[in-house]
Amino acid sequence: MQFFTNAVAPDGMVSTYACRMSLKRALERCNFAIRVRAGFKSKRNSTLGVRGVFVAMAQENTIS
């Protein structure tokens, strides 16, 4: 959890093919808004975490 706090800017985003609940909870504790998206190839889902100015964009679906 400390990694996300230190490595990502206050107005930043994280995208990964990992979609575990523990990852989503850790991102939420670091003030990220979570969006689960369709995965690529054989992956079912991917996780997008946004915070700061990107939260409004994700809610308006301008971030795909």
Q: Does 42 map to a domain?
A: yes
Per-residue pLDDT at 51? 94
pLDDT tens digits for range 7-64: 999 999 999 999 999 999 999 999 999 999 888 888 899 999 999 999 888 877 766 6
Q: Does 51 map to a domain?
A: yes
Domain count, the chain: 1
Domain interval for residue 39: 2-19+32-59
Q: Does 40 map to a domain?
A: yes
Q: What global pTM score does this model have?
A: 0.80
Q: Does 64 map to a domain?
A: no
Q: Does 54 map to a domain?
A: yes
What's the sign of the alpha-carbon dihedral 15, 16, 19, 21? Answer: negative
Q: Does 13 map to a domain?
A: yes
Helix locations, 1-64, DSSP H: 2-7, 21-29, 54-59
